[in-house]
Amino acid sequence: MSVPSARIALLDDEARLVEILAMVLRREGYEVHGFTDPIAALGALETREFDLLVTDLKMPGADGLEVLRRARKHAPELPVILITAHATVPTAVAALREGAFDYVQKPFDNEELRALVKRALEVTRLARENRYLRAELRTRYSLDSVVAESPRVRDALELARRAATSRSTVLVTGESGTGKELVARAVHYHSDRVGGPFVAVNCKALATGVLESELFGHERGAFTGAERTKPGLFERADGGTLFLDEIGEIESGFQTKLLRVLQERRVQRVGATEDKPVDVRVVAASNRDLRAEVAAGRFREDLYFRLAVIPIHLPPLRERREDVLPLAVHFLARWNRELGRSVAGWTPEVERWLVAHDWPGNVRELENAIERGVVLARGERIGFDDLLVDAPGEEPRPGAAADPPGSASLPEFLDAAATERIRRVLEQTGGKRVEAARRLGIDRATLYRLMRRYGITDRTEEGA
């Protein structure tokens, strides 16, 4: 399959050959710029962006290897195909050592050249896609883009920025929903390990035996069900960062094994007799007070100090209320964009509630509330009915604030209320989802997404 937008520079001192090859490649849909003068070709390569250079090896004025060196000095990722009538092993090796993608020998088959060009352009596409994705990740996890007005959070982010330049272990602490994984990823993407993998594991979600196998890997036959050798997450994260979330949940016996790996930077698979070196930067996180866990004898002190070389604490949202409204504005913009809506904001009563609420679920709870408000808003601004909470000083709505204390967390309650409201509207419209979406003030795609999210099904035939 051709790449119509691909731009190819074609260089050969034989004008007739340039004309023929240009015609062959243009038939494939490529944009071809032909040159017979190496100096002119190099000038074009320095001023315009090309996806591929195809050049003769032997030319008067400058040979193909010299053109290759100078072209890649300006564009290091530019693939170069050499054409030669003098192909020898030393010539080919020299070309490949200089960074040539490949070479073809005159006389060559046009189909051979087309296939080679296609492969080289695929390399260009993947390289550009990789650069784009890395730039996207850097933007997404940039510490500069984190919304924070609180001095305590700003200090924590600055500490994370300084920590990123080292290989030291980082321990991020804070309540659930404060953004510990966001900081862990930011440390990785601001470090020189950004080209390596970021591997995350929730230590709480795995039993000790499973966690050991996941982290360290295992040999074939090491235990029942180990039918093949499996590298562990330490090996998979080699050259990058391993994020150990909920580190305070691991059992004391495994703490000793983990400490050894962190100290020696070597890992031994389960069932193996030898260990191997790993180059891994570890970032750990916990919503527990690990100092208190150490004092209670539930967490090894030496492991704590090995993890907390650089400790970063994220305060809960109730202790940094100056961040609530900026975060809410940020989430409003995000969910307007995600859901294709144009909600302008919220009522003054909602704003007072946003600032006064304690947010036990922290930033995650705040984002969920704003998403819910954007989805359910019936006007230009989010009201209490859209958030499914009661306005201060008003009588509780039936089944809402009158729920017994401790019966459910606020996110659970709000999810349940949203589920009930969607079900009720579907019943009122006889299962006609287009009409239900209209009454809810959302589009049909958003309604489908919410129905999947909340496990809502209806047996009524859907109307148009």
pLDDT in the model for residue 145? 74
pLDDT in the model for residue 462? 42
User: Residue 202: which H helix or E strand, with range?
Assistant: strand 198-202
pLDDT in the model for residue 2? 40
The fold adopted by the segment(s) 146-315 is Rossmann fold (3.40.50)
Q: Are 280 and 234 in contact (CB under 8 A)?
A: yes
Q: Are 12 and 21 in contact (CB under 8 A)?
A: yes
Crossing angle of helices 362-376 and 324-339, in 10° steps, is 50
| CATH of range 7-137; options 3.40.630.30, 3.40.50.2300, 3.40.50.970, 3.40.1010.10 | 3.40.50.2300
Nearest CA to 318 among 350, 354, 346, 369?
354
Which three-class secondary structure string do you get for 184-199? HHHHHHCCCCCCCCEE
Structure-block tokens of residue 434:
């287009």
Q: Indicate where the chain has its CATH 1.10.8.60 domain(s).
A: 319-454
Structure-block tokens of residue 114:
């087309």
Nearest CA to 363 among 397, 320, 396?
320
Considering only the top CATH level, what class is 319-454? mainly alpha
Residue owning tokens 């239900």: 436
pLDDT in the model for residue 141? 62
User: Residue 170: which H helix or E strand, with range?
Assistant: strand 170-173
pLDDT in the model for residue 392? 53
Q: What are the backbone dihedrals phi and psi of residue 134, each rounded to the nearest 5 degrees, phi first? A: -65, -40
Express each pLDDT in 350-407 by its tens digit.
999 999 899 999 999 999 999 999 999 988 999 988 887 655 544 444 444 334 344 4
pLDDT tens across the length of the chain (464 residues):
344 468 899 998 889 989 999 999 998 888 999 998 888 888 888 888 888 999 888 787 667 778 888 888 878 878 888 887 765 556 667 777 777 888 887 777 888 888 889 988 888 787 776 665 665 555 566 777 788 899 999 999 999 999 998 999 999 999 999 999 999 999 998 898 988 899 999 999 998 889 999 999 988 888 888 788 889 999 999 999 999 999 999 999 999 999 999 999 999 999 988 999 999 999 999 999 999 999 999 999 999 999 999 999 999 999 999 999 999 999 999 999 999 999 999 999 899 999 989 999 999 999 999 999 999 998 899 998 888 765 554 444 444 433 434 445 656 667 777 888 888 888 888 888 888 888 787 778 788 888 888 888 765 444 43
Residue owning tokens 């539930």: 298
Q: What are the backbone dihedrals phi and psi of residue 444, each rounded to the nearest 5 degrees, phi first? A: -65, -40
Distance in angstroms between the alpha carbons of the first and the last residue of the chain: 40
| Cβ neighbours of residue 402 closer than 8 Å, sequence gap 6 or more | 396
pLDDT in the model for residue 401? 38
Structure-block tokens of residue 418:
């949203």
Q: Indicate where the chain has its CATH 3.40.50.2300 domain(s).
A: 7-137
Sheet holding 52-56, edge to edge: 31-35, 7-11, 52-56, 80-84, 102-105
pLDDT in the model for residue 389? 63
CA separation for the pair 317, 100 (Å, rounded): 55
CA separation for the pair 84, 99 (Å, rounded): 16
Residue owning tokens 């883009």: 145
Q: Indicate where the chain has its CATH 3.40.50.300 domain(s).
A: 146-315
pLDDT in the model for residue 384? 83
